Amino acid sequence: MTKAVLPKDFLWGFATASYQIEGAPTEDGRGPSIWDEFCKIPSKIADGSSGDVACDSYHRTAEDIALLKSTGARAYRFSISWSRIIPIGGRNDPVNPAGIAFYKKFVDDLLAEGIVPLVTLFHWDLPDGLDKRYGGLLNKEEFVADYAHYARTMFEAMPKVKHWITFNEPWCSSILGYNVGVFAPGRTSDRTKSPVGDSSRECWIVGHNLLLAHATAVKIYREEFKTKDGGEIGITLNGDAVYPWDPEDPLDIEAAERKLEFSISWFADPIYYGRYPESMIQQLGERLPTFTPEEAALVQGSNDFYGMNHYTANYIRHKTSAPDPADFLGNLETLFTSKSGTSIGPETQSSWLRPNPQGFRDLLVWISKRYGNPKIYCTENGTSVKGENDLPREQILDDEFRAEYFRGYIDALAKAVSEDGVDVRGYMAWSLMDNFEWADGYETRFGVTFVDYEGGQKRYPKKSAKIIGPLFEALIKED
């Protein structure tokens, strides 16, 4: 598409997360997070690494802002390390002025360069002190109260921030941290991976508690800050596009819808409708927590916008057997090849990711229809490149595969807006630079900028860093 179809105030830019880029884990009073501790456990991270240095962004904010400026970005989504603000994490624990000063200055510096900050309060890095004190996300009363205090502390400190995100991908915190056990804190029923955890129950408790913490923070923002600061607040949910493995089989069509409900609607249905999806209630029974009338009222309506993280698509095939107690998908299979042998998209470095731009458009339409045409910010979208980390730097910088991914996905977004009537207000590419890719360590790169980890974290923009700006400038209306 070449015609301008996006609103003139459309925000496009790039996204990162604190633990993945900052480094400086003990500097200026920062306390440990559950990811600092998780990385110390042998075999949890593919290359045995950690976020101890990462992109060294704690010391390189000026470089990061210059990088953003060079791309023409209008916005930057980053997350705050709770452990920098309240090192132990709790509502009665000391607040760290140096942590607040760091993020306040960063916001000021971004705004001085005309870059709009989108700030995520929690991107998986819970203060380890809270995990040790009371079980972290598993403890509803304590966690919700401590998160509310942390959120209020940040709202008070940074009135210039107009776009707040409470949680990044609560599905990942819940499922990967408390069911599969591949993310911190690594709890799972699989005793070869963890001595503690119950995959059949804990993930659903954590998801419930995250929803209540989100809604509590939104209530605080709306009642105490929104009028005077003029900002907005929402949550970011992840979800993959789905296609039935056999489009002629009603059970596969049903399973595809159920997959969306178990990933997206698990959180979005309570926020927009005050209840969990019926498919989850049926499969999980009493293992799925219930909302009190007061909790349901608190959660319902707690979104000023819908934050959407999206990367890939799957074919969905139903299962005929009874669901496994640890099942979190909705008793179905996710596949990359359909019954007719059609591939969903080309391979990448990430086993879970295959590009499929049409899926992005379809999912935008699905979200828009199910949730009453909400204002949507795409808060993450991007791809790894197969074998990228093994290439010489010159070839890494010529990342045509990633550039083509962005062309396809941005075109799909524009069509969803212009032809399907979806209300998309922003797009953040993942990621501004290569970084610590969680359990994959540094072997997988998602950045539009090459980070030379061996050469002192020097940054080199790739081809993909240069093509996104012109794409959006052609699509954004001038008046």
Rounded to the nearest 5°, which phi and psi values hold at 335?
-135, 160
Q: State mean pLDDT over 33-48.
A: 98
Which residue range forms the structural domain that includes residue 59? Answer: 11-241+267-310+354-475
Q: Which burial class, exposed, middle or buried, applies to 460 when counting CB atoms under 10 A from its CB (0-12, 13-18, 19+)?
A: middle
- Is position 438 within any domain? yes
**What pLDDT is recorded for position 373?**
98
Whether 442 and 388 have beta carbons less than 8 Å apart is answered as: no
Active-site annotation holds for 333: no
Active-site annotation holds for 380: yes
User: How many Cβ atoms are within 10 Å of 6's Cβ, its own excluded?
Assistant: 23
- Is position 248 within any domain? no
Q: Answer whether the bond into residue 431 is a cis peptide, omega within 30°.
A: yes
Q: Supply the CATH number for residue 169's domain.
A: 3.20.20.80
**What pLDDT is recorded for position 445?**
98
- Is position 203 within any domain? yes
Instruction: Give the alpha-carbon dihedral of 163, 12, 413, 398, to 10 degrees.
Output: -140
- Is position 344 within any domain? no
The contacts of residue 446 (CB under 8 Å, 6+ apart) are 382, 383, 384, 430, 431, 434, 435, 437
Whether 193 and 186 have beta carbons less than 8 Å apart is answered as: yes
Rounded to the nearest 5°, which phi and psi values hold at 466?
-100, -15
pLDDT tens string 112-165: 999 999 999 999 999 999 999 999 999 999 999 999 999 999 999 999 999 999
pLDDT tens string 443-452: 999 999 999 9
Could you identify the residue written with the tokens 């960063």?
Answer: 106
Given 202, 261, 295, 380, which residue is catalytic?
A: 380
**What pLDDT is recorded for position 240?**
98
The contacts of residue 227 (CB under 8 Å, 6+ apart) are none
Amino acid at 26: T
- Is position 57 within any domain? yes
- Is position 256 within any domain? no
- Is position 149 within any domain? yes
The share of the chain scoring above pLDDT 70, in percent, equals: 100
Q: What is the pTM of this model?
A: 0.98
- Is position 251 within any domain? no
Given 169, 232, 295, 388, which residue is catalytic?
A: 169
pLDDT-derived band at 269, boundaries 50, 70, 90: very high
d(CA 446, CA 384): 5
Amino acid at 93: D
Q: Judge whether residue 1 has pLDDT over 70.
A: no
pLDDT tens string 64-99: 999 999 999 999 999 999 999 999 999 999 999 999
The average confidence (pLDDT) of the chain is: 98
CA distances to 34, 197, 211 from 129, rounded to whole Å, are 8, 19, 21
| 93 bridge partner residues | none
User: How many Cβ atoms are within 10 Å of 41's Cβ, its own excluded?
Assistant: 13
d(CA 252, CA 332): 9
Task: Look at the chain and report how many structural domains it folds into.
Answer: 1
The share of the chain scoring above pLDDT 90, in percent, equals: 99
**What pLDDT is recorded for position 479?**
83
Q: Judge whether residue 464 has pLDDT over 70.
A: yes
